[in-house]
Structures are given as C-alpha cells and as structure tokens.
Amino acid sequence: MEAGQPSALGTQPIFRQMTLVGMGLIGGSLALAAKQAGAVHSVVGVGRSVANCEVALSRGMVDRVAEDLPSGARGADLLVLAVPVQEIVRLLPDVARAAEPGCLVTDVGSVKGQILEAGDEAFPDGRFVAGHPISGREQSGPAAARGDLFRGASWILTPGRRTRREALDRVATLCRAAGAVVLQMDAAWHDEVLATVSHLPHLVAYALMDAVLATERGGERIRFSAGGLRDFTRVAGSDPVMWRDIFLMNREALLRVLADYQGALARLAEAIRNRDGEALEARLRQARVAREEMVHRP
Amino acid sequence: MEAGQPSALGTQPIFRQMTLVGMGLIGGSLALAAKQAGAVHSVVGVGRSVANCEVALSRGMVDRVAEDLPSGARGADLLVLAVPVQEIVRLLPDVARAAEPGCLVTDVGSVKGQILEAGDEAFPDGRFVAGHPISGREQSGPAAARGDLFRGASWILTPGRRTRREALDRVATLCRAAGAVVLQMDAAWHDEVLATVSHLPHLVAYALMDAVLATERGGERIRFSAGGLRDFTRVAGSDPVMWRDIFLMNREALLRVLADYQGALARLAEAIRNRDGEALEARLRQARVAREEMVHRP
C-alpha cells in the first residue's frame, strides 16, 4: 500500500514554494512540519481570516500572506487546499485558472470521492493529488497547529484515473517528510472507511450532546459526567462548519453506516426492554473483544 | 448538597474493621485510599475469585481474606458491597443476617433506586447507606485499583426514608477521607442523571463497536480509526457483566434517555438526508457550545 519513493531529505527541498489555501489546524501543521523538515523552500498563505493570517505569520508557518488566490498561486510549484470540503470543490476551477503550468495541487479533505472527481475535471493533465491525513485535534485554527501533528499518522492518498504518477510520488514524499505514513487507497473505499471510523462517531457525539441537553435539567445532569460523557463528546467540540460539510459531502456512505448503527442500537435496546441478560451480555462481550483488538493493533 | 461533618483525620480511624465484599477496581481502590488515609484500622476481603484475593493481599489492600460472608462480617463495623449491582441486591438479605449489630453497610453500585429499596428492607433500623463514587477506569479488577482513584471525584450518597443520620455521616466521612467530594441526592434522580451521563454513553459505545464490526471488512476499517472511534469506545472496554447488570437495573430511566437520543440522531440523519445544511450546522453549533460549557464547568 506504500506509495512513492523514500524522501531524500537534507539534500534539497521537495517543493520550492508551497502555497497554502486555508491556514487552519491541518494547513498550519503541514506548513510547520514541512518547514521543520526542510521539505519546502518557502510557504505562502492565502486565507480570508485576517486573524488567522496574523497567527500564521507570527508563528512562522508562512513567509508571506497573499491577498487572493491568483497572487498566492504565483510562483508556487505546490498548492495545498486546506479548507472545508465543500469549499475545496468550489475552489478547484479557480485554482486551475490560477495555478502556474506544472504546479501540483493537493488537498487534505476528509471526503475524497467528490473532491477527486472535481480535481480530475479541473486538472485533466493529472496534476491533482487527492489526500487526507488521518489526524486532528479537538481545537481548530492556526494557534492549535503543531509541527508534529502528523508524526506516525496515516496520510491517505487516493489517486484517480488521471492522477500522474510523478505528481503522486512528489506529494507522498512531502507527506512523509511531515512525519506521516503514506497509504494509497481507492477514493470510494476511503469514504466508506472514514464514514465508519470518523464521520459516524462524530455524528453520534453530536447527537448525544443534543439529547443530553434536551433532557429536563440537562445542564445539571452534565455536572455529573465523569469519564463517560466527556470521552464521547471530545469530538463534539470540533468545528461545526467543517463537520456540516463532511456530513453532507459523505452523505450516502454516512447514511448507510448510520442505518447499521441505528440497527445495532435498536437490538441492544430490545435486549434491555425484554430483560434479556444473556443476549445483552453476549453483545457487550463481543464489542469489548473488538475494541481490544483495535487498541492493540499496531 | 454536602452531607455530614468534616473528617477528623489523624486522630483515630473512622472504622475499626472494614469488610469488603468484592475486591475489584472500586473496592480495591477504596481499601487502598482508606488505609492510606488511616481511616480504617483493618480491611477484610470477601471474594469468590482466588486470583483477585491474591492480588488484594499482595498489594496490601486487605489484611486478610475471609472464606465466606459470615466469617468476613465477624468483627466488622463497616461492610462495603463492591460487586455488580444485581449481586448487591441479591446479597443484601444475607448481609443483614451476617452483619453484627451496629455494623454499617454501604455499597458502590451505579444504580441506586432498587438497591436502596432492597437495603431499606434488609436493614429496617437504617444502617444501610446507598452510595456511588463517580469514578472509574477502563480497566477492571484489583490490579487496576489505585489509592487516588477518588481524589476530587464526586461520591454520591442517596439516603432513603429509613437511613439513619449518624450512619450517613460516618460513611460520608470515610468517602471524604478517600479523597472524594460527597454529594447527597435523591435515588431516583441519581438514576436519571447517571442514565444520561454514563449509562447511555456506554450503551452508545457498545452499539458503535457492534455496528462497525458488522460492516463489510470491519476489521480493516478499524485500522484507520484515529481519535474518533478510539475516544468513543474507551468505555466499550469495560466489564460486560457489570454493564449488563447496570443496563438491566436502570432499565426504565435508560430506555427513556435512549429514546431521546434516538430522536436526536434521527433529526440529524433527516437534516443530512434532506441536505439541509442550515439545520445541520445549527445543531452542531449548539452541541459544541453545550460541550464547551461542560468542559469548563468546575
């Protein structure tokens, strides 16, 4: 599953100028990691938020900030789209107009099918490489960015029919320089997998907070949450716009695993309703074994 | 909400002999904490598992192990029931026969209504004090016990009509000596609250593991779980028998909040299905605000 060649760090940068569209947690962390590894010569930031631009400049993530996409793209041999997934799709045609010939383009969105499609359409010459680092923190924004965010994390690349091999390899080399383990995957399978292990859990957490709050004296109940609720709802602290976009863009896969989950929940409820201790214990035991396998998996 | 008087540590033990029925995580941690604080003179353990007895002895949690309840109860001025909730209810009549006159009895179960009822019936003289320390770890058993498990945690006591004030105060003093903050609460409200902040989140985690596993190539998907799924399912590693019992004993309250939760989930699913970004974002935003309030609450 490993893609590309080992990086030749220390000799010369992989990219001359990386232009970052979006200076949030992921974009900012990539800029820090790439700079620390000497993988890019310079970083230019494009962002609508003045506050984010200032943080990015003051933390040394970017060498300069550009006013708009066309001026930010000038001189870039890599453009990284690190904005919410719906915005990536919306921006891609503009990016194609702004990017210089030979400039590679990649993204870090959590949904890949639709982005790959839009990227392949915008870059028929195969310069677009769809990617997704499996990493994140509860906090968002450039202030939360860390140069070691991707260390040991999986960075999934989902090349399509058009994606050029050299483009894939160069982007993979950058991801590795940032500390990640690069995996190659089919975009549709990526979206199924992420719906299961990330999008559904986030949806579940949001629903849990929603339900708890709506109970009588909900705020008072929340006072008594020790590990239980707190653990579950860490992710409910994530950026609502980012997650709204992810849920909507990965709609089909998410609704499928959600239906599976609602079924599992209904079966547990049924066992409780029927006071069926045996069935209940068997289900809990199975879930625990699976969970232990997950934790002990390398 | 504070119950009882401040403890007079360092002068003399609160109890001469604490007999612990069940030497798992909670019982073992209480024994360690009480000994470290000088709150008990000696601890006797009663347990069916030879392995647990050996760990409890070797870790100095108990001074000796008794073969059965009657011999363990001999000489005790406090009996602590630290076994799964259904077993507490089942044991209470035996405990009433075995306990010496004046011996106080308490428990640490996560459901209180039914236990209080059984305790009040077994001890018409009001010597039973129903309690629940809001604390826990993923691991179970005496090897996971820690003397600081209750430091800063809430220890809820749910006295009933019969509970004697002195009994309540002495048990509260022990809980405080173990490092906990003692709160007094109505048993029915305790069960509602815990159904919301603990039992439902655990059920949700078990259902999530169940659903993920049942997907096509589920084991492969699990490999890609970064924060998301892992956070949610920490609690799915808990003891299945303990949780089976809790779910069944708190059946009514749990099914009520579960129905609320299923409704919240269905509303989110509906917004996704209808591609209603506005409604979706509003719900996510509200959940995040609530979650932040929870985290920043003292």
Decide if B150 is inside a domain: yes
Decide if A7 is inside a domain: no
Decide if A9 is inside a domain: no
Half-sphere exposure for A161 (CA within 13 Å, toward CB) = 5
> What count of other Cβ atoms lies within 10 Å of the Cβ of residue B145?
25
C-alpha distances (whole Å) from B219 to each of A195, B26, B228 are 14, 33, 16
Query: Whole-prediction pTM value?
Result: 0.88
CB contact under 8 A, A255 and B273: yes
Tell me the C-alpha distance between A265 and A203, whole Å: 14
C-alpha distances (whole Å) from A219 to each of A229, B289, B298 are 13, 12, 13
**Does residue A38 share a domain with residue A149?**
yes
Question: What is the structure's pLDDT at A138?
Answer: 66
Decide if A181 is inside a domain: yes
A171-190 pLDDT per residue, tens = 999 999 999 999 999 999 99
Q: What φ, ψ does residue B41 adopt, rounded to 5°? A: -80, -45
| CATH code, domain carrying A239 | 1.10.3660.10
What 3 state SS string does chain B have? CCCCCCCCCCCCCCEEEEEEECCCHHHHHHHHHHHHCCCEEEEEEECCCHHHHHHHHHCCCCCEEECCHHHHHCCCCEEEECCCHHHHHHHHHHHHHHCCCCCEEEECCCCCHHHHHHHHHHCCCCCEECEEECCCCCCCCHHHCCCCCCCCCEEEECCCCCCCHHHHHHHHHHHHHCCCEEEECCHHHHHHHHHHHHHHHHHHHHHHHHHHHHCCCHHHHHCCCCHHHHHHHHHHHCCHHHHHHHHHHCHHHHHHHHHHHHHHHHHHHHHHHCCCHHHHHHHHHHHHHHHHHHHHCC
Instruction: Count CB pairs under 8 A between chains A and B.
Output: 285
What is the percent of chain A with per-residue pLDDT over 70, rounded to a whole number?
91
ipTM reported for the complex, 2 dp: 0.87
B218: chain A residues, CB-CB within 8 Å: 196
Tell me the C-alpha distance between B84 and A289, whole Å: 20
Confidence band of A291 (pLDDT split at 50, 70, 90) = confident
B191: chain A residues, CB-CB within 8 Å: none
A243 CB within 8 Å of a chain B CB: yes
Q: Which residues pair with A132 in a beta bridge?
A: A156
Please compute the mean of the pLDDT values over residues A92-113 and round it to a whole number.
97
CB contact under 8 A, A215 and B203: no
Q: Nearest C-alpha of chain B: how many angstroms from A133?
A: 10
A144-154 pLDDT per residue, tens = 999 999 999 99
B154-157: strand order across its sheet: B131-133, B154-157, B181-184
B64 CB within 8 Å of a chain A CB: no
A277: chain B residues, CB-CB within 8 Å: 244, 248
> What count of other Cβ atoms lies within 10 Å of the Cβ of residue B63?
17
Task: Please report which helix (H) or strand (E) contains residue A295, including its range.
Answer: helix A277-296
Please compute the mean of the pLDDT values over residues A196-201 and round it to a whole number.
92
A110 CB within 8 Å of a chain B CB: no
Structural domain ending residue among the three candidates A185, A205, A229: A185
Decide if B1 is inside a domain: no
C-alpha distances (whole Å) from A270 to each of A267, A273, A280, A281, A290 are 5, 5, 9, 13, 22
CA A290 to chain centre: 25
Structural domain ending residue among the three candidates B167, B185, B203: B185
Decide: helix, strand or coil at residue A257.
helix
Is residue A256 within 8 A of residue B202, CB to CB? The reply is no
CB contact under 8 A, B222 and A153: no
Is residue A131 within 8 A of residue A171, CB to CB? The reply is yes
Please compute the mean of the pLDDT values over residues A29-57 and round it to a whole number.
94
B273 CB within 8 Å of a chain A CB: yes
Q: What is the mean pLDDT of each run of 10 residues along chain B (298 residues)?
A: 44 91 95 96 93 93 95 98 96 98 97 98 97 82 92 95 96 97 97 94 91 87 77 74 95 96 96 97 86 67
CB contact under 8 A, A221 and B134: no
**Does residue A163 share a domain with residue A55?**
yes
Residue B90 tokens read as: 């089942």
A265: chain B residues, CB-CB within 8 Å: 203-204, 207, 211, 258, 262
Is residue B29 within 8 A of residue B55, CB to CB? The reply is no
CB contact under 8 A, A226 and B154: yes
A279 CB within 8 Å of a chain B CB: no
Question: What is the structure's pLDDT at A222?
Answer: 83
**Does residue B222 share a domain with residue B157?**
no
Tell me the C-alpha distance between B252 and A108, whole Å: 45
B261 CB within 8 Å of a chain A CB: yes
**Does residue B210 share a domain with residue B136?**
no
**Does residue B177 share a domain with residue B31?**
yes
Residue A187 tokens read as: 């975009």
The residues, ordered by sequence, that sit 6+ positions from B7 with a Cβ below 8 Å of its Cβ are: B14, B39, B173, B174, B176, B177
Question: What is the structure's pLDDT at A3?
Answer: 42
CB contact under 8 A, B222 and A297: yes
B264: chain A residues, CB-CB within 8 Å: 207-208, 210-211, 214
Question: What is the structure's pLDDT at A238?
Answer: 77
**pLDDT of A103 over the 60 cut:** yes
Write down the residue that tokens 């019982």 correspond to. Answer: B27
Decide if A54 is inside a domain: yes
CB contact under 8 A, B288 and A240: yes
Q: What φ, ψ does residue A192 adopt, rounded to 5°? A: -65, -50
Question: What is the structure's pLDDT at A1?
Answer: 39
CB contact under 8 A, A194 and B224: yes
Our CA angle for A7, A11, A14, nearest 5°, is 55
Residue B20 tokens read as: 């612990």
Domain tally, chain A = 2
CA A138 to chain centre: 12
A292: chain B residues, CB-CB within 8 Å: 237
Q: Nearest C-alpha of chain B: how many angstroms from A131?
A: 14
Confidence band of A139 (pLDDT split at 50, 70, 90) = confident
A84 CB within 8 Å of a chain B CB: no
Decide if A1 is inside a domain: no
- A274-280 long-range contacts (CB < 8 A, ≥24 apart) are A275/B248, A275/B251, A277/B244, A277/B248, A280/B244, A280/B247, A280/B248
B215: chain A residues, CB-CB within 8 Å: 192, 196, 257, 260
B198 CB within 8 Å of a chain A CB: yes
**Does residue A203 share a domain with residue A98?**
no
Decide if A115 is inside a domain: yes
A248 CB within 8 Å of a chain B CB: yes
**Does residue B35 share a domain with residue B154?**
yes
Residue A122 tokens read as: 């915008």
The residues, ordered by sequence, that sit 6+ positions from B262 with a Cβ below 8 Å of its Cβ are: A262, A265, A266, A269
A135 CB within 8 Å of a chain B CB: yes
Residue B258 tokens read as: 């579960």
B263 CB within 8 Å of a chain A CB: yes
B230 CB within 8 Å of a chain A CB: yes
> Worst-scoring range by mean pLDDT, A47-51, A73-77, B95-99, B128-132?
A47-51
Decide: helix, strand or coil at residue A127.
coil
Residue B5 tokens read as: 């008087």
CB contact under 8 A, B265 and A228: no
Residue A62 tokens read as: 């970017």
**Does residue A282 share a domain with residue A180?**
no
**Does residue A119 share a domain with residue A235?**
no
A235 CB within 8 Å of a chain B CB: yes
Q: Rounded to 10 degrees, what is the CA torsion of B258, B263, B268, B273? A: 120
**Does residue B262 share a domain with residue B167?**
no
Structural domain ending residue among the three candidates B185, B212, B233: B185
Residue B128 tokens read as: 């039973």
CB contact under 8 A, B243 and A284: yes
The residues, ordered by sequence, that sit 6+ positions from A62 with a Cβ below 8 Å of its Cβ are: A20, A23, A31, A43, A44, A45, A53, A56
| CATH code, domain carrying A51 | 3.40.50.720
Decide: helix, strand or coil at residue A177.
helix
CB nearest A247 (choices: B201, B223, B272) = B272
**Does residue A36 share a domain with residue A151?**
yes
Question: What is the structure's pLDDT at A224?
Answer: 83
CB nearest A287 (choices: B198, B209, B291) = B209
B289 CB within 8 Å of a chain A CB: no
Q: Provide the residue range defining the domain that includes B76.
A: 15-185
**Does residue A179 share a domain with residue A69?**
yes
Tell me the C-alpha distance between B233 and B230, whole Å: 5
B114 CB within 8 Å of a chain A CB: no
CB nearest B281 (choices: A224, A241, A297) = A241
